[in-house]
Amino acid sequence: MTARSRADLATASRIVVKVGSSSISGESSWRIPVLVEALAAAHARGAEVVLVSSGAIATGIPFLQLDARPTDLATQQAAAAVGQTMLVYRYQESLRPFEIVAGQVLLTTGDLENPTSRSNARRAMERLMSLRVLPIVNENDTVATQEIRFGDNDRLGALVAQLIGADALILLSDIESLYTKPPSDPGAEPIDVIAADADLSGLEFGATVVNSVGTGGAATKVSAARLAAASGIGVLVTSADLVDKALAGAEIGTWFEPAV
């Protein structure tokens, strides 16, 4: 049943959680076990959980002995190929104490736009969840050129939530909630709830470089959240450090009410 409020997250049957590169790669890789523990708790109560995780390129950079994120496509693809295996390994090692198996799912926009590929992806993910496997979804960076990219994994999270008919989507960020303007600006106020038909034209959401390895920002999350909410999926945007509280239905973050 669709989550109509934050409290419903505690009992939602099918949840998609999206986390970005800046939250789980580089010096922030310590957060993977913390994230996994929260996902495992939801899994233990019977929920079907799907993780959409960025971070393949960022994770692969040090293994290629690069000093910064590569700018050419071929090296980005190489970093993604190396980093994706290590990223899933780290998740699987953290899931092992909970006796949960991870399943890797790599997608491009073409996979979700083509009816046959879309049906295949949905069927595979449905079967993974029925087997109590935790699907870990990422963009297929080794083949995705600019014209077939999702643009950002917030959007991928929303599309995956639509694909599997999720009850809720949680977009994890670096801050606890969205604000009426950049949080560092005077007068910026946290946003509690955004109605499905709310006019957001008076708010200032910026798309910024989060760090040297990841891109994103409030604007991408708002766009993705509204996409999912328009499909009848409740969306919470909050900090990656509060994922356990988010999954427990705590009154945190910014809640996007789903369309009826």
- 185 annotated as belonging to a binding site for a ligand: no
Residue 21 is assigned to a ligand binding site: no
Is 181 known to sit in a ligand binding site? no
Contact between residue 229 and residue 258 where contact means Cβ atoms under 8 Å apart = yes
* Gap between the Cα atoms of 55 and 19, Å rounded: 9
Please name the helix (run of DSSP H) or strand (run of DSSP E) that holds residue 106, with its range, or none: strand 102-107
Is 153 one of the annotated binding-site residues? yes
53 annotated ligand binder: no
| Residue 161 vs residues 120, 156, 222: alpha-carbon distances, Å | 16, 8, 15
Is 119 within any annotated ligand binding site?
Answer: no
Q: Report in angstroms the alpha-carbon separations of 115 from 20, 77, 112, 121, 145.
A: 28, 26, 7, 10, 20
Residue 3, CA atoms < 13 Å, CB-side half-sphere: 31
Whether the Cβ atoms of residue 59 and residue 86 lie closer than 8 Å to each other: yes
Binding-site residues, please? Answer: 18, 54, 141, 153, 173-174
Binding-site residues for substrate, please? Answer: 54, 141, 153
Binding-site residues for ATP, please? Answer: 18, 173-174
